[in-house]
Amino acid sequence: MSAHLRKLIGTVVLLVFLVLYIWLAAALGSGRIVEAPALLQAAYFLVAGLLWVIPAGLLIRWMQRPD
């Protein structure tokens, strides 16, 4: 697979993943977590705000592989 095709596929997958991840994190964040103590809310939003970096980084590493 050429690098251009990998980057195109990776970009589309990354955008779809981010939209779904943001939707899921926001849905969970506006649900029961609202009733939780402030410290638990902060922990949730910290983890949810950083967790997307791992799969995105793996996908970007795959996209940057040489031919």
Four-point Cα dihedral 14, 20, 23, 25, nearest 10 = -80
Per-residue model confidence as pLDDT tens digits over 6-56: 999 999 999 999 999 999 999 998 888 888 999 999 999 999 999 999 999
Q: How confident is the model at residue 63 (pLDDT cuts 50, 70, 90)?
A: very high
SS3 per-residue string spanning the chain = CCHHHHHHHHHHHHHHHHHHHHHHHHHHHCCHHHHCCHHHHHHHHHHHHHHCHHHHHHHHHHHCCCC
Question: Residue 22 has what pLDDT?
Answer: 96
Task: Let me know: does 7 contact 60? Beta carbons within 8 Å.
Answer: no
Question: Residue 1 has what pLDDT?
Answer: 85
